[in-house]
Amino acid sequence: MTASAPRGIAVVDIGATTSKVVLFDSELGEIDTRRTETVHRAAPPYRHIDAQRVVEFTAGAIGELDRVLPIDVIVVSACGSTLGCVDENGELAAPVMDYLAEPPAEIVEGYTKIAPRFAETFCNTWPAALSLGMQLYWLETAFPDAFTRIRSIMTWSQYLAFRLGGRQTCEISTLGAFSQLLDVVKGDFSSLVRQRGWVGRFAPLTRAWDDIGELSGEFRPAMFSGRGRIVCGVHDSDANYLRYLAAGFDELTLLSTGTFIVVFESQANVFGLDPGRETFSFTNVFGRPVGCCGFFGGREFDTLLARAAPSEATAAEIQAIIAEGVFALPSFSDAGGPVAGSANRGRIEGPFTGVPAQRASLATIYTALMTSEALDAVDSRSPIVVDGPFSRNSLFCSLVAALRPGQRVASSLAQEGTAAGAAVLALMKPAGELPKFAVELKPHEPGAFPGLAAYQRTWRAKARSDALMTSVLS
């Protein structure tokens, strides 16, 4: 370790369901973790995140972990589609909107008329409040008094960094994550932001690895021994991708799994993305757009599981599902993902008994089939790496490998891959030079499932037929 290398790096990893603070050493070795539930509150005024609870947990965890290893750098990596809008005193002008908040019909209708074109932002308007443009329009239209008080709009990671002691900032990997706020080609605010007069309300755009301050005395215990330097922070999925860039992966298809499953294809042509298949570009911390496709994979998986455990899935039961023609057809969420027109059309067809082993196995093969469709949507041909919770699901990985015979499939062995990727920011040079770190992977052989290819063809035909019928009826 050099004299300037941080002793401890605290990564504040705030997801939609779980909040964590993970402590790393300067070699990205995971030392300790604190975690809690991310608390969401119902309306009024709309479904929102309990931001104060997140800040209090984070500050307490940093203080505890500094006693384990002095924390010299703090990095926030949080879920996207979330904003912190503050007044002239730095207090929230409106609660932090949950991206699953359901806007009223008149807000959806009004936003549809002003949403920027796909060719500009390389993303559709996503359901609920997933599009940040929709969130701001909703606030401006339905809560004008609160909107008038807004003096600074920060992306979620940067708002949390500000609360810990940093200055007010925004960062491009969150602005460039299907927000409709970024003109992807120009790397600047979209026409929506300019036409609505929002440009001057955004905090300054800052690089993810730039220093923005130090841990506030309010949160710094008397015995705090680290330097507590805060860097700007990053979108959580892009943090995960950054880890592979640091490992030297030039050609990569990354499956970032969790509530969402997002496919990052390093070689995709963003100008060839199909808006009908929920493809989009993800702008990384260096300002480069990466072709992606996403769907609510983890959420749909849980819906199909019902009360079954994922571990109850078996290869034998998957083979029986194939042989008997049991199909879970998309989609079990309000986003159709790579199967256009399938939102909220999910159904099960065939001799389905609902016993736990069959239910868990059906959830597994359905998620693998949807993942393969997402890979096709971005013309994926690179080696595939599964990261996140599904990386520990060997049946899922073997199914993906069987469905993608021309591509190698491996899974990450890191328990906290997203947090480790965010920790890379603490070690970057001011000019943006990445440190070099190895990524430990487990290769997966294609599972032996006779009849899988024919089953996939039938599943695809049924899924697309359902979606086409929806389109005709609408």
Answer for the pair 207, 151: CB distance below 8 angstroms, yes or no: no
Whether domain 8-232 has CATH 3.30.420.40: the reply is yes
**pLDDT per residue over 403-446, tens digit each?**
999 999 999 998 888 899 999 999 999 999 999 999 999 999 99
Asked whether the domain spanning 249-473 has the same topology as the one spanning 8-232, the reply is yes
- Residue keyed to tokens 């609408």: 474
- Residue keyed to tokens 């950054």: 242
pLDDT at 2: 47
Structure tokens at 334: 């309000």
Burial label, 352 (beta-carbon count in 10 A; 0-12, 13-18, 19+): middle
Give the residue extent of every domain in the chain: 8-232, 249-473
pLDDT at 253: 97
Cis peptide before 179 (omega within 30 of 0): no
Nearest to 243 by CA among 92, 112, 427, 88: 427
pLDDT at 468: 61
pTM listed for this prediction = 0.90
3 state SS of 9:
strand
Answer for the pair 264, 256: CB distance below 8 angstroms, yes or no: yes
Consecutive H or E run containing 256: strand 253-256
Instruction: Spell out the long-range contacts of 305-311 with Cβ–Cβ below 8 A and sequence spacing 24 or more.
Output: 305/359, 305/360, 305/363, 306/354, 306/359, 307/356, 308/356, 308/357, 308/359, 308/360, 308/363, 309/356, 309/360, 310/360, 310/363, 310/364, 310/393, 311/360
Cα torsion for 191, 196, 201, 203, to the nearest 10°? -20
pLDDT at 388: 87
Fold of 249-473: Nucleotidyltransferase; domain 5 (3.30.420)
Give how far Cα 45 sits from Cα of 37, 48, 97, 99, 152, Å. 22, 8, 9, 14, 20
Residues of the chain with pLDDT under 50: 1-3, 471-474
3 state SS of 322:
helix
Answer for the pair 433, 285: CB distance below 8 angstroms, yes or no: no
